[in-house]
Each structure stands twice: as structure tokens, then as C-alpha cells.
Amino acid sequence: MQRFLFVLIFIFTFSFNTAYSISKKERTADTVNIGAYVLSLHDINFKDKEYTMRLWLWMLYNNPEFDFTTQVEVPNAKSIEKPDVMVDTIDGKIWVLMKMKCIMKQNWKVHDYPFDRQHIKVHIENTMFDASKLVFVPDTSGSKFDKDFAIDGWNISNFKVSTGINEYSTTFGDITLDTQHSEYGAFFITLDLERNAWGLFFKLFLGMYIAFFIAAISFVIDPEDVDPKFGLPVGGLFASVGNKYIIDSILPETTSFTLVDSLHSITFLFILFIIAANAYSLILDRRGRRNNARSFNKTSGKVILITYFFLNIFMVILAIYK
């Protein structure tokens, strides 16, 4: 009986101490109400993997130890201009309002460019207090983006704000922590961008398609006219290569095979098919089989043009509806 009572007392004491320690931790983590109003997103630069965002950011909290005028961190920013800051009190709480301009890092997804869709996510933290001391609560009703906020050529959707925890596999030199792990409360601003792509698509690829169809004109030239028969597709091939270099100059380097790579590769390959078909037509003509040469020239031209046309449509539809 005494042993049973001892076990009960031990369990009760352990449970009480655990509950007390948990409640103590909860009490030490002060909440900060935080929200954002995005003014603009501009200077989108695919080559340098960056964009610029201007926004209003506000915090409402009780703890006077928090100084968000100097403790705001944007981990995925390249640079932050010195913000305009206003500090006031509302119902006994400290209210900080900041107007910020940040140049943000972004790994652009260019696999389906120019039919690409981009997901923007901004992280905001406090540089001094970890998650055991500070927890963010999002102001979802007040956080919005400017109704006049528009990005030329893009549609904006799925704007939202949320909070969470950013984990780091280091203590940043804090020897009081037992494991190489630390957590910081984080505020997230997310939105999706979808491009109005058709105008850009034709601006980018019109030169390539004109080059291909100039090469294809060689099918209407008589096989015995060697110079224009081979000069047109060779010129079209060089023009297509130049078009690809121009597009590559505005895109970041990537190891994946993008839509731009696919369409240009198809064009290069089919121009080579044109040259090969013209060469075979010339061989038939030189052997005195002129009718066969002209028939092959006509048939191969139709097959190459139709296959190229539908293959391009397939690749573009695949990029749009992926």
C-alpha cells in the first residue's frame, strides 16, 4: 500500500512539474501581432535572380525589450534600404510601422518560360529573440496588396500572410544550448505570379519561326538550283542559333532542359532534316531521276513542315497545362 501511494505521489509530482515548466515556457514567449501591405513588386530580373519589393510592415506588442526598429531581419533579401519608421502606443501596446524597400533573392522557375508560374515568399524574423521568447501572430484581415499593384505582363493571385518557425542547425555561438539547433519565429508573405505569355512568346520566337520557314522555302526551289537550295536553310540555321543566344542572355543558367531549349533544338534538328532532304533530292537529280527528285522534294517538304508544326504545338501546350 505504501509503495502504491509513493508511486501515485511521484506521478502527480512529475506531472505537475511538467505542466508548470510547459506553462512557464508558454508565458515567456511573448506574442507580436504582425501584418504587411505590399505596395509594389518590380524590377524583376531573371538573369540576376532578384526582384524589388516595397511594403508597409507593422508590429503590435507589449514587451518593451523588443526593438523592431533595429531588429527586423529579412533572411532571403539581398539588400534592405534603411526603412522609414514610426513608433507609437495603442491601448498600452507598442506599435511600430515601417516602410521598407528590399531587393529580394529568387530562384526563378524557367523550365516553361515564357509560360512560367512563379511563387514569391518573403521571410521576416526578429534578429535578437528566438521562438522561446517571441512568437508572431499574423494580421490576416489587415494584410493585403495595393489594389493598384500591377506587374506588367503578370497576373497576381493567392496572396496571403502566415507565421511559422524557421529552424537553423546551429546555435550561432550560444554555448548555453545543448544541441546545434535553434528556432526563430517567422512571418511569411506569399503570392503567386502567372505570366500573360502569348505576346512575349511571339516576340521571343518569331525570329526563330521566320528563320525556319525561310529554310523551308528551299523545298519549292528546283533540285538543280544548288546555291539557293542549300543557302536558305544554312542561313535559317544561323538565324535560329542567334535567336537562342538572345533569349539565353535574359535567363538564368539552368541544368534542366527548358521550353526554350526544346523549341530551338527541334528547329535546329528540322533544319538539318531540310538540308538532308535537299541533298538527297540533288543526288536523285544528278542520277537523271528528275521526276523522282521533284516528287521526293515535295513529299519530304510536307512531312517536315507538318511534323514541325504539330510538334511545336505539343511542346507549348505541355508547358501551358503542366
For the stretch 290-310, pLDDT in tens is 888 888 888 999 999 999 999
**In this predicted model, which residue has the larger pLDDT, 292 or 192?**
192
Residue 167, pLDDT > 90, answer no
Q: How confident is the model at residue 182 (pLDDT cuts 50, 70, 90)?
A: confident
Q: Which of 132, 164, 195 is the last residue of a domain?
A: 195
Q: What is the pLDDT of residue 48?
A: 92
Q: What is the pLDDT of residue 52?
A: 95
8 A C-beta contact, residue 259 and residue 117: no
Same domain for 284 and 135, yes or no, is: no
CB atoms under 10 Å from CB of 320, counted, come to 13
Q: What is the pLDDT of residue 24?
A: 39
- Find the mean pLDDT for residues 61-84: 92
Q: What is the sign, positive or negative, of the torsion defined by CA atoms of 192, 77, 79, 58?
A: positive
256 in a structural domain = yes
Same domain for 174 and 118, yes or no, is: yes
Pure H helices in the chain = 2-28, 68-71, 198-216, 226-248, 259-286, 290-321
Tell me the helices (H) and strands (E) count for the chain, helix number first: 6, 11
Same domain for 209 and 175, yes or no, is: no
User: What is the spatial distance between Cα 89 and Cα 97, in angstroms, rounded to a whole number?
Assistant: 11
Same domain for 214 and 126, yes or no, is: no
- Find the mean pLDDT for residues 93-105: 95
Q: Which of 169, 195, 221 is the last residue of a domain?
A: 195
**In this predicted model, which residue has the larger pLDDT, 29 or 305?**
305
User: What is the spatial distance between Cα 270 and Cα 276, in angstroms, rounded to a whole number?
Assistant: 10
Report phi then psi at 218, rounded to 5.
Answer: -60, -15
Residue 206, pLDDT > 50, answer yes
CATH number at 284 reads 1.20.58.390
Q: Which of 151, 173, 195 is the last residue of a domain?
A: 195
Same domain for 211 and 299, yes or no, is: yes
Same domain for 187 and 60, yes or no, is: yes
Residue 25, pLDDT > 50, answer no
CATH number at 65 reads 2.70.170.10
Residue 247, pLDDT > 90, answer yes
Number of domains in the chain: 2
Same domain for 220 and 268, yes or no, is: yes
152 in a structural domain = yes
22 in a structural domain = no
Residue 23, pLDDT > 50, answer no
User: What is the spatial distance between Cα 277 and Cα 219, in angstroms, rounded to a whole number?
Assistant: 9
Q: What is the pLDDT of residue 4?
A: 46
Closest CA to 252 of 135, 122, 143, 105: 105
What average pLDDT is seen over the chain? 87
Instruction: Say what percent of the chain tops pLDDT 70.
Output: 92
11 in a structural domain = no
Q: How confident is the model at residue 26 (pLDDT cuts 50, 70, 90)?
A: very low
**In this predicted model, which residue has the larger pLDDT, 247 or 287?**
247
Same domain for 295 and 168, yes or no, is: no
CB atoms under 10 Å from CB of 46, counted, come to 16
Q: DSSP letter string over 146-161?
A: -TT---TTEEEEEEEE
112-148 pLDDT tens trace:
999 999 999 999 999 889 898 999 999 999 999 998 8
Q: What is the pLDDT of residue 19?
A: 42
Same domain for 33 and 173, yes or no, is: yes
Q: How confident is the model at residue 151 (pLDDT cuts 50, 70, 90)?
A: confident
Same domain for 84 and 39, yes or no, is: yes
Look-up: residue for cell 523545298?
219
Q: What is the pLDDT of residue 29?
A: 76
pTM reported for the whole predicted model: 0.79
Radius of gyration of the chain (CA): 32
40-59 pLDDT tens trace:
999 999 999 999 999 999 99
Residue type, 8: L
Beta bridge partners of residue 189, listed in sequence order = 122, 161
Give the contacts of 264 (CB within 8 A, at least 6 positions apart): 208, 240, 243, 244, 247
Same domain for 138 and 150, yes or no, is: yes
- Structural domain for 146, as ranges: 27-195
Closest CA to 278 of 233, 213, 214, 248: 233
- Find the mean pLDDT for residues 168-195: 86
133-143 pLDDT tens trace:
999 999 999 99
8 A C-beta contact, residue 280 and residue 303: no
**In this predicted model, which residue has the larger pLDDT, 47 or 286?**
47
